[in-house]
Amino acid sequence: MRIVLLNDSFPPVIDGVANVVVNYATILTRHGHQVVVATPDVPGAKDDYPFPVVRYTSLNTTKLVGYRAGYPFSAPALGELKDFKPDIIHSHCPVASNLLGRTLREQTGAPLIFTYHTKFDIDIRTAVKGRLLQNELITALVKNIQASDEVWTVSHGAGENLRSIGYQGVYSVMDNGVDMPQQRADQKEIDAISRRYGLREDQPVFLFAGRLRWYKGIRHIIEGLARAQKAGADFRMIFVGDGSDREAIEKLCRQAYIDSRCVFVGAVQDRELLRAFYSRADLFLFPSTFDTNGIVVREAAACGLGALLVRGSCAAEGVTDGQNGLLIEENGEDLCRQVLFACKNLDAVRQIGHNAQRQLYLSWEDAVSRAESRYADIAAQYAVAQRKPRRDLIPLVADWVGAVNYMRDISTQVIDLLR
């Protein structure tokens, strides 16, 4: 098959969905398919992949939303993608990528699949000022998703979140996998981390990995650890990642008097080094109700590391408290309770990690193979229909106008931030 993958983030931008697209493209290419990735341009990007990457014009909005906003109606990019003659168009972001996907579908007739990875309503309400504008953008986002031929979500909770913001169609759950092997990292790499950060064998080590944004539940981590420290717990906390709230997070750690126990590593692009951090830790702290799947939870599980998660969250799907993870209510007090349990019962917590490794692990090979099978069904369905370019032009033009207004509003807010 000839497959176009679209996403608003892609390396050198690092996040969970960028990682998804890299793995989809790499595995599908290895399976003999022809794959093209299309993504907004990032200055200095070097695309050394076994598949081509088409980059299109973008606006620097990283201070506002953490990403560059792509212009999805780039004639050169659309021309190159049209000439590719795709059988499948698969978008992983409901903003520029899905508009680009709809435009490409308009020109080629290829079916458009959309995967819902992120609670974009929270991103919008965090980044954009004014309730009216927030609601308008969420409505436009849902309309853009609704226009897809098939919608996938990465968990049942993600699907229900999508329904809660107005989506009325059907969806299929297609789990994400992890690109790490089902084993701990090399012991030399683990020992190197212990030496570098002064980690003692008899001292519990907790880990967070991901974007340093408040909506990841990091306030609960800091509050819970501060409470645990007052209760006499001895531990170290490692934060792997970066983000717009990092400075404020470090400040709150100082104010809570736990900064001497905390290490802020920054973003880690080396996957083997990241495996070593997972393998060195005793418990992964991820009290996020924002994440729809929590790839990092499965990455941790691959390395034999159990996770502390919020009960009922998307990231906690498939986790049984005390067996392959630890569950809490969404507050620092309950996080403290489980941290104190971990400090006093390290052997039990490490056994939870072993169980997570056996029970929660899903390789990208298996995850993409399932998607590949569904691709074949969809491609066959549209081939039988003697695919022709769509006549979706009027609603698409209306959404173009909405996209232009979106770019204008984002640009205005970026200018305000830079003043």
Output the six-digit token pair for 90: 């698969």
Q: pLDDT tens, 12-36? A: 887 888 989 999 999 999 999 999 9
- pLDDT tens-digit series, residues 185-195: 999 999 999 99
Could you tell me if 169 and 150 are in contact, meaning their C-beta atoms sit under 8 angstroms apart?
A: no
- d(CA 401, CA 232) in angstroms, rounded, equals 58
Average pLDDT for 220-225 = 98
% of the chain beyond a pLDDT of 90: 72
Query: What tokens does 254 get?
Result: 């100082």
Average pLDDT over residues 218-243: 97
Reply yes or no on whether the pLDDT at 417 is more than 50: no
Once rounded to an integer, what is the mean pLDDT over residues 354-371?
95
For helices 393-418 and 131-146, the axis angle rounded to 10 degrees is 140
Which one-letter amino acid corresponds to residue 322?
A: G
Residue 69 is predicted with a pLDDT of 79
- 198 token code pair: 């002064």
In the chain the domains, ranked by start, together with CATH numbers, are: 2-177+364-418 (3.40.50.2000), 187-359 (3.40.50.2000)
Q: Characterise 217 by phi-psi region: left (phi > 0), alpha (psi -120 to 50), beta (else).
A: left
Q: What is the pLDDT of residue 368?
A: 97
Q: How confident is residue 70, by pLDDT bands cut at 50, 70 and 90?
A: confident
| Residue 56 confidence (pLDDT) above 90 | yes
Write out the DSSP string of 322-369.
TTTBEEE-SSHHHHHHHHHHHHH-HHHHHHHHHHHHHHT--BHHHHHH
For the cut 90, the answer to whether the pLDDT of residue 291 exceeds it is: no
What mean pLDDT do residues 355-371 have?
Answer: 95
Higher-confidence residue: 333 or 45? 333
Q: Is the pLDDT of residue 101 over 80?
A: yes
pLDDT, the chain, mean = 89
Model pLDDT, residue 44: 87
pLDDT of residue 107: 92
* More confident: 135 or 277: 277
Q: What digits encode the pLDDT tens for the residues 127-178?
A: 677 888 888 888 888 999 999 999 999 999 999 999 999 999 999 999 999 9
Please answer whether residues 280 and 193 qualify as being in contact, where contact means their C-beta atoms are separated by less than 8 angstroms: yes
400 against 242, higher pLDDT: 242
Q: Which residue type is seen at 407?
A: M
Give φ, ψ of 78 to 5 degrees.
Answer: -65, -40
